[in-house]
A = this chain, B = another copy of it.
Amino acid sequence: MPLYYEDFQAGQQWELGQYQLSEESIIKFARKFDPQYFHIDPVKAKDSIYGGLVASNWQTMAIYMKLIVEGLISRSVSLGSPGIDEIRFFEPVRPGDTLQVRYMVTECRTSNSRPTVGIVHFKGEVYNQAQEPVASVAGTGFFGRKPPEDI
């Protein structure tokens, strides 16, 4: 049975996945999407404000999505997202770091305009193996409502 809107409630919390980044994967992603020198050149990166190679924030966000899709969304009747309300970046992500996500439901409400859709507000926290927060994401997801016969 997949997770419907009715299966979410404010206060729920999940600890999702683990994803380790290699230097190679950081460079590969950044060459394609974020070719700043502190993401693609380990030697020059030593002279940057980060003191070494760091991952593109957008790679951190893509990994955040991967962990949420694998751990939660793939088991749900997800109907997409209208957007993100806030992203904050804290500690940089470095080669060898292992990321996890804490996903919390902050508010649930039904859609006024679409009776088959439920709206879930959430906050996701990405943290590393030292339990340091590296990013937080607040946003909104749409989920299908449970068919009446199943309630």
Interface residues of A (CB under 8 A from B): 29, 32-36, 49, 56-58, 61-63, 65-66, 69-70, 73-74, 78-89, 139
CB-based contact A85/B86 at 8 Å: yes
CB-based contact A62/B86 at 8 Å: no
Partner pick for A34 among B57, B66, B85, CB 8 A cutoff = B66
CB-based contact A32/B66 at 8 Å: yes
CB-based contact A36/B78 at 8 Å: yes
CB-based contact A33/B62 at 8 Å: yes
CB-based contact B70/A35 at 8 Å: yes
A58 to B83, CA, bound (A): 11
Residues of B within 8 A of A29 (CB): 62
